[in-house]
Structure 1
């Protein structure tokens, strides 16, 4: 993969410093990846696919075209999912529903603000707007994530991206994070894309709602 990473840089005319900045890592870290002394993380692969329009199949295997002919509207975090030719994904305003928990408990009683129609999506239960910059540059505030509810922490895929509702002193905190295993028993580690946000250890018992992020939609404003 290190050879393909160098090919991407050459094709786009990027220096090591410029690509490292896009990935949110240091130039020395990128140099180690390109020389085979370190591996490319899943979060950085996602950035390369989304931000640089690189074909994920080519990135993994070298097969096919390096870049998509047309940038996809949505970026899939799990390419092994079976996709549906068409579906209507409800878009919710979680502020209007008092958070994720009421929405997940009784979705039928919550009225969506709109519906999203994108062909060939994995099956999704709903979509919400992202708030905050903890997953920047992969996700920015105002982007949309489409999700599939998960019944419990035992059903997650470690290292993937999830939408969570966490109880902090009786208040609900809704966030999008990578979930990794923790060395502390009964806890999980929540990891941000943004290097300025520190990792957080959270007791599993404080996670009130959980959903797997299936796709994301980048919202760009034109001025």
Structure 2
């Protein structure tokens, strides 16, 4: 098994959902299902959050999955196969954006990401962008994350700095036409990330029309094959004061 397959086997053994794992570690939604290896920085977080998980089993395929109750799980330093992993005395706690936005339902907490628009959404969706904070919004459907709006293409409906909460779309055949999407796409040899309405192009089922709310931005027609990452916008959050 790969490292991520073994980690999923551990979560199944412990009865821990993927959403709970993402909440505890702060990793982005989809991290467990992308790639094969974990990376030393991620392993450090994992073993400090799950002290009964055997690092020797996870990385070296040695020994049992779970450490015995008497095994030391704090203040121990491991150095194996390029992984130098100190166990912390106390696990780090994820930062909550605001007590007014947080609830006791950890599985509904939404990671907020800082990302560079120039690099697109792909690193974020692949689990390579750490969460900077968390949101918890009552009665919100399950979402994968949130990012801060940039630009004025959706003004005044959305302003720069507003947070858009999204659910990743993995197949362009599942587009709900007319809805608002967070999208990364290639256009004229450049990569763009923006929020737009996606409309059908009459007579061209393999193309999409990207429409802004701001009338000063002209629609853009692109082939569906140009889309690099896509997420439907489920909600938005706006702060009207600085504090």
Q: Same fold (TM over 0.5)?
A: yes
Match of 2:163 among 144, 148, 161: 144
Distance 1:188 1:126 in 2: 24
CA separation in 2, counterparts of 1:216 and 1:152? 23
TM-score by length of 2: 0.53
Q: 1:184 Cα shift? A: 5.5
How many residues were matched structurally? 140
Cα pair 2:118 2:192 within 8 Å, conserved? no
1:102-117 equivalences in 2 (<5 Å): 102-104=123-125, 106-107=126-127, 109-117=128-136
Q: Structure 1 length as normaliser, TM-score? A: 0.57
- Alignment correspondent of 1:174: 193
- 2: distance between equivalents of 1:96 and 1:206? 16
What is the aligned-residue RMSD (CA, Å)?
Answer: 2.5
Going from structure 1 to structure 2, the CA distance change for 1:134 and 1:96 (only over 3 Å counts) comes to closer
1:142-167 residue CA offsets vs partner (Å, 9 max, x unmatched) = 00000000012210111010010011
Name the SS of the counterpart of 1:201 in structure 2. strand
Aligned twin of 2:175: 156
CA displacement, residues 58-101 of structure 1 (integer Å, 9 cap, x when unaligned)? xxxxxxxxxxxxxxx99xxxxxxxxx896110001111993201
Shift of 1:199: 1.2
Larger radius of gyration: 2
Instruction: Tell me the equivalent position of 1:34.
Output: none
Distance 2:137 2:208 in 1: 33
Q: Unaligned 5+ residue runs, structure 2?
A: 1-99
Partner Cα distance (1:116, 1:208) in 2 = 26
Name the SS of the counterpart of 1:122 in structure 2: coil
Is the 8 Å Cα contact of residues 181 and 197 (structure 2) preserved in structure 1?
yes
Select the residue among 132, 140, 144 that pairs with 2:151. 132
Higher relative contact order (CA 8 A, sep 6+): 1
Answer yes or no: is 1:165 the counterpart of 2:165. no
| Counterpart Cα distance in 2 of 1:194 and 1:162 | 15
Q: Note the 1:78-89 alignment, pairs <5 A.
A: 87-89=108-110
